Amino acid sequence: MGTNIEHDESGFTCECGLRNDYPNYVQAHWSVKLAYTCACHRQYILYKGTVVKTSRETPEVYDSEAFGD
Protein backbone atom coordinates (compact mmCIF):
# COMPACT_ATOMS: atom_id res chain seq x y z
CA MET A 1 0.00 0.00 0.00
CA GLY A 2 1.45 3.34 -1.04
CA THR A 3 1.25 6.22 1.34
CA ASN A 4 0.47 9.64 -0.06
CA ILE A 5 3.11 12.00 1.29
CA GLU A 6 1.73 15.50 1.79
CA HIS A 7 3.96 17.83 -0.18
CA ASP A 8 4.09 21.12 -2.06
CA GLU A 9 6.72 23.02 -4.02
CA SER A 10 8.62 24.09 -0.91
CA GLY A 11 8.69 20.92 1.18
CA PHE A 12 6.85 17.89 2.49
CA THR A 13 5.51 16.36 5.68
CA CYS A 14 7.10 13.07 6.71
CA GLU A 15 5.05 10.10 7.92
CA CYS A 16 6.24 11.02 11.43
CA GLY A 17 4.48 14.38 11.07
CA LEU A 18 7.63 16.50 10.81
CA ARG A 19 7.63 19.20 8.14
CA ASN A 20 10.72 19.14 5.92
CA ASP A 21 11.35 22.29 3.90
CA TYR A 22 13.44 21.78 0.80
CA PRO A 23 16.89 23.38 0.81
CA ASN A 24 17.64 25.59 -2.20
CA TYR A 25 19.63 22.68 -3.62
CA VAL A 26 16.40 20.77 -4.28
CA GLN A 27 14.91 23.60 -6.35
CA ALA A 28 18.14 23.87 -8.35
CA HIS A 29 18.16 20.11 -9.07
CA TRP A 30 14.44 19.61 -9.69
CA SER A 31 14.93 17.02 -12.43
CA VAL A 32 17.53 14.97 -10.52
CA LYS A 33 16.56 12.19 -8.11
CA LEU A 34 17.74 13.25 -4.65
CA ALA A 35 17.83 11.17 -1.49
CA TYR A 36 16.46 12.89 1.59
CA THR A 37 16.39 11.54 5.12
CA CYS A 38 14.02 12.99 7.71
CA ALA A 39 15.18 13.53 11.28
CA CYS A 40 13.24 10.35 12.17
CA HIS A 41 15.47 8.40 9.71
CA ARG A 42 12.77 7.65 7.15
CA GLN A 43 14.23 7.97 3.67
CA TYR A 44 12.62 9.63 0.68
CA ILE A 45 13.42 10.27 -2.95
CA LEU A 46 12.63 13.77 -4.20
CA TYR A 47 12.13 14.06 -7.94
CA LYS A 48 10.40 16.78 -9.99
CA GLY A 49 8.16 17.72 -7.09
CA THR A 50 7.22 14.18 -6.10
CA VAL A 51 8.16 12.62 -2.79
CA VAL A 52 8.48 8.85 -2.55
CA LYS A 53 9.33 6.93 0.60
CA THR A 54 12.12 4.44 -0.01
CA SER A 55 13.22 1.24 1.64
CA ARG A 56 16.67 1.02 3.19
CA GLU A 57 17.82 -1.19 0.31
CA THR A 58 17.65 1.22 -2.60
CA PRO A 59 19.53 -0.26 -5.55
CA GLU A 60 20.30 3.05 -7.22
CA VAL A 61 22.81 5.58 -5.97
CA TYR A 62 21.46 9.05 -5.31
CA ASP A 63 23.19 12.36 -4.74
CA SER A 64 22.64 13.13 -1.08
CA GLU A 65 25.86 14.91 -0.16
CA ALA A 66 24.19 18.33 -0.24
CA PHE A 67 21.92 17.50 2.70
CA GLY A 68 24.83 17.54 5.15
CA ASP A 69 23.95 14.92 7.75
The answer as to whether 14 is a domain residue is: yes
Q: Is 11 exposed, middle or buried (0-12, 13-18, 19+ CB in 10 A)?
A: middle
Q: Is residue 61 part of a domain?
A: no
Q: Which residue segment(s) compose the domain that 30 sits in?
A: 7-55
Q: What is the pLDDT of residues 29-66, one digit of tens each?
A: 989 999 999 999 999 999 988 899 987 654 555 555 55
Indicate the pTM of the whole model.
Answer: 0.68
Residue 69 lies in a domain: no
Asked if residue 22 belongs to a domain, the reply is yes
Q: 64 lies in a domain? A: no
Domains contained in the chain, number: 1
Determine, yes or no, domain membership for 66.
Answer: no
The answer to the question of residue 68 being in a domain is: no
